[in-house]
Structure 1
Amino acid sequence: MTGAEARRPDYDLIVLGAGPAGENVADYATQHGVRAAIVESELVGGECSYWACMPSKALLRSGHAIRAARRLAGAREAVGGAVDAAAVLARRTSFTSDWKDDGQVAWLDSAGIDLIRGRGRIAGTGLVRVDDRVYSARAVALATGSVPILPDIPGLAAAAPWGTREATAADHVPARLVVIGGGVAGVELAFAFASLGSRVTLLARTGLLDREEPFVGDHLAAALAEEGVDVRLGVTPARVDRDTDGLVTVVLDDGTRLVAEELLSATGGRPNTDDLGLESVGLDPGAGLTVDETMLVDGTDWLYAVGDVNGRALLTHQGKYQARAAGEAIAARLQGRPVADELWGRHAASADQLAVPRVVFSDPEVASVGLSEARARERGLHVRAVEYDLGQVAGAALHADDYAGRAKLVVDEDRGVIVGATFVGQDVAELLHAATIAIVGEVTIERLWHAVPAYPTISEIWLRLLETYGRPPGRRPLDA
């Protein structure tokens, strides 16, 4: 064996974390000839497959279908009884493959990616320790996701509250459930468990989804109340206790006492940089990770951070997008090829900062992309916003009796392009990609007048929003 062969690293790329971001960065690099391995201490497929995106949406879907039928004369008469909770839980479990990752492991093998089971930590430049073995690599990618934040409420930790994992993997439906948190997870799971038969109380320190347009929270609060959820805004739990019978008591800051069988803490998450050995390469885990547009960690030429762990946009689809950029960049650099900045550089910035699509699978759904009006103004943009009642669109009126919803566009007046869009209403998630394309493609308002929506569909909202905005002055014919 030559000296060069003896020094050959174990892999070109080692990825810590086998969730969607980790799988994609390894896959895209492997497709370009990179020898890659993934280190995973839990299930291959990660949080989204087993405890977040897929099971939570499976828990929600049956309730949505029943409510949709009840909104249509002729259909509502055929719908009787309540949702079959046991059947919903069983369907949820089918989407998690009963929390077994055999299929995902088989996919890794078919893609030519090695799987290393265990807890991985950085042990030096290009070194990863897994249990008692150290592996070497020319590049390492962190794809360790995010972890939940537990609020600092006296007694909360000792009361063993559910997190989102416990809620989405639940094997029973509690008679009463208190949810702390008015964000995405709190709202979605409040809807889910209410539809399954729980008496749900939702507590939010401020409003519901208060980073979105103001009308979003109003629509959600009304819909939750109609579903029987007790929504309490502007309240903070002062103490939590669980007694010997298993009941949880939540005392609010105004002295109100709430008693339930279970308590769900859903107050968001933070990048998971704990116990990754970052200090071994001079990085401070508590300071977070800053990356460039190819997800290369600042100050290094070998370490990448992809997905939630870099804190750019804590969403599965954004993590997968970042992973595609990182996988191709890693392969190019390892093989001495120029990184295709013209493909990823500017666009990665817009995708993660200016055109992030977000869907809350509540009922009504909330679908938004880009900047809210308030955040656009905070950035110093000269914007004008227009809104329209979705219920006044013919396609929506056909979709459901007394359809309730709203749409809003935020337009950069200086450039004549959309920088934000929000839709609230039944089944509006499918409207979102058109708005995402308009923002990413920087399609001008003038040009959008020629994108004709089919009649009668809910997409006719685009025409109504454009009419509300008004035709740009001096508008030229399409072929001018």
Structure 2
Amino acid sequence: MEREVDVIVIGGGPVGENAADRARAAGLEVVLVERELVGGECSYWACVPSKTLLRSAAALRAARRVDGAEQAVTGRLDVQAVLARRDYWVSDWSDQGGADWLESIGVGLERGHGRLDGVRRVVVERAGGEAVVYRARHAVIVATGSDPVIPPIDGLAEAAPWTSREATSVTEPPARLVVIGGGVTGVEMATAFAGFGTEVTVLARSGLLGTMEPFAGEAVAKGLRELGASVRLDAAVERVERTPSGEVVVTLDDGETITADEVLVATGRRPRSERLGLETVGLEPGDWVAVDDTMLATGATGNDAAPWLYAAGDLNHRALLTHQGKYQARAVGDLVAARAVGGPEQTAPWGAHVATADHTAVPQVVFAEPEAVSVGVTAAEAERAGHEVRIADVSFSSVSGAGILADGYEGQARLVVDAERNTVVGATFVGQDVAELLQSATIAIVGEVPIDRLWHAVPAFPTMSEVWLRLLEALGRPGSSDAAAPGDAGRADHSGARTDDAGSAA
């Protein structure tokens, strides 16, 4: 017996939840299939627990950077309290709240492993061994996410390494931790455990945060070292061994060995598509699922004649970030609903049913020490793409709000401007609490706001957002002779002086 519904969503993380919610809001009958916890990787083993683990030590460091508050800090970080707070935010790894929410909006929950079995057909293998079959009248949306990669290093798999899951669900921080990888996960977990007092060693084949501007990785490497971590760049791991005593011995390609209690692997991710049944619809199991801007799976059987299979989130490999996956999910959920009820389809660039921003404005925050955030392209990427580039680099020492936020504030900001269109195409901020500056840059890029118009977006004084004024000054006032020429890096060197009683810049 097959049960027929309008839409089947495979994967109950934030992406699947959002897609199901949008389709159900249009009146469609939706069933969501999840094999683990409703809420997925982000809620229980990634975004939420990792940022919770990072926050307490960051708050403590922030207090110690403000004279007067510093003197009031007399104790050390309470690690067990941090872990208890993490447990609260992951609901002690119970998804009852997520299941209750699905029920409240009328989405059916099927617990088990879902796989495709031909066009519009999904088989769900329940935990007890029973299999049930669903057929979708309109669409199947796959949102199964990704898993950490364990690289083929001699002995690594046998050494039972940590991945992000073990790191974020830790119950007792190890005394010594080796982190293999210099990307976001590696950097954030190194920051978290260094904050706990763990002796951390980071091994990166090149620099840190290689997809960002070089100064971001350099600042984070400096910050990790100041936390007591060892950061080894250009380090290649040749072998990993778990000794009978439980220690881990990591051997580098130059013969040096590092002994630790645990080793965390953070070297990339792979799609959860090996057991998804992709081969039954003409796609390759184990691969990322290629999609167009509407999230329609390209090359899937039957999709050309009557669109039915979509892939959102990590699985399509466009932007492995929860917020971008949710953005895709909202678009595809609304599109599936529009196609089901015969409504208008808004599939032109920047239409409601496409994920145009995946190509131009993907924001990312690295909650390291210091924070490093970016959106759009780097200067090098813009140049490779053929843009006529203008660059503005500013130190946060020129921003009064930064100096008030923290004594001796250190940080840097960069805007990358397409000189031909006179719009921002990339932005990077590095420093304490810069994450909240990112949305303004994202809006500037998505809205293609001309630089001349940005001069009229006046930042409040004295706030961190005043960095925007300094960046614009570095680019040059519109219509004046001090405007930076294309290819130049305008660098402001402001003193960040105090203000007079009227609040005007001194």
C-alpha deviation, 1:81, in angstroms: 2.9
SS of residue paired to 2:429:
strand
Aligned mate of 1:112, from 100, 106, 127: 106
C-alpha deviation, 1:347, in angstroms: 8.4
C-alpha deviation, 1:104, in angstroms: 0.5
Alignment correspondent of 1:88: 82
2:367 corresponds to which letter in structure 1? F
C-alpha deviation, 1:248, in angstroms: 0.3
Task: Say whether the 8 Å CA contact 1:270–1:311 is kept in structure 2.
Answer: no
Alignment correspondent of 1:288: 288
Aligned mate of 2:373, from 367, 376, 393: 367
1:397 corresponds to which letter in structure 2? G
Aligned mate of 2:339, from 311, 333, 339: 333
Partners of 1:118 and 1:104 lie apart in 2 by 16
Task: Say whether the 8 Å CA contact 1:449–1:463 is kept in structure 2.
Answer: yes
Partners of 1:59 and 1:141 lie apart in 2 by 32
Alignment correspondent of 1:102: 96
Taking structure 1 as reference, are residues 287 and 89 closer, same or farther at Cα in structure 2, changes over 3 Å only?
closer
Q: Does 1:43 align with 2:37?
A: yes
Alignment correspondent of 2:385: 379
Alignment of 1:269-418 (within 5 A): 269-299=269-299, 300=303, 301-342=307-348, 344-345=350-351, 348-418=354-424
285-294 or 50-59, larger mean C-alpha shift: 285-294
Task: Say whether the 8 Å CA contact 1:294–1:345 is kept in structure 2.
Answer: no
Task: Say whether the 8 Å CA contact 1:411–1:417 is kept in structure 2.
Answer: yes
Partners of 1:133 and 1:349 lie apart in 2 by 33
Quote the sequence identity (%). 58
Task: Say whether the 8 Å CA contact 2:331–2:355 is kept in structure 1.
Answer: no
Alignment correspondent of 2:65: 71
SS of residue paired to 2:329:
helix
TM-score, with normalisation over the residues of structure 1?
0.95
Partners of 1:20 and 1:346 lie apart in 2 by 19
Q: Does 1:251 align with 2:251?
A: yes
Partners of 1:391 and 1:258 lie apart in 2 by 38
Alignment correspondent of 1:147: 147
C-alpha deviation, 1:336, in angstroms: 2.1
Paired positions, count: 469
Partners of 2:397 and 2:56 lie apart in 1 by 23
Task: Say whether the 8 Å CA contact 2:346–2:354 is kept in structure 1.
Answer: no
Alignment correspondent of 2:496: none
Alignment correspondent of 1:447: 453
Q: Which has a greater percent of helix? A: 1
C-alpha deviation, 1:334, in angstroms: 1.4
Task: Say whether the 8 Å CA contact 2:242–2:249 is kept in structure 1.
Answer: yes
TM-score, with normalisation over the residues of structure 2?
0.91
Alignment correspondent of 1:135: 134
Taking structure 1 as reference, are residues 42 and 53 closer, same or farther at Cα in structure 2, changes over 3 Å only?
same
SS of residue paired to 1:395:
helix
1:157 corresponds to which letter in structure 2? A
CA RMSD, Structure 1 to Structure 2 (Å): 1.5
2:258 corresponds to which letter in structure 1? L
Task: Say whether the 8 Å CA contact 1:293–1:345 is kept in structure 2.
Answer: no
Deviations 1:356-402 (A, max 9, x none): 00000112111110001111111111111110001221000011011
Task: Say whether the 8 Å CA contact 2:120–2:136 is kept in structure 1.
Answer: yes
Aligned mate of 1:20, from 8, 14, 20: 14
Alignment of 1:111-190 (within 5 A): 111-131=105-125, 132-138=131-137, 139-190=139-190
Task: Say whether the 8 Å CA contact 2:334–2:353 is kept in structure 1.
Answer: no
C-alpha deviation, 1:211, in angstroms: 1.2
C-alpha deviation, 1:271, in angstroms: 2.5
SS of residue paired to 1:391:
helix
Deviations 1:307-356 (A, max 9, x none): 11011100000000000100010011112223122585498453101100
Partners of 1:151 and 1:48 lie apart in 2 by 22
SS of residue paired to 2:117:
strand
Deviations 1:103-148 (A, max 9, x none): 0000000010000000000011010001222111121000001111
Alignment correspondent of 2:128: none
Aligned mate of 1:426, from 432, 436, 447: 432
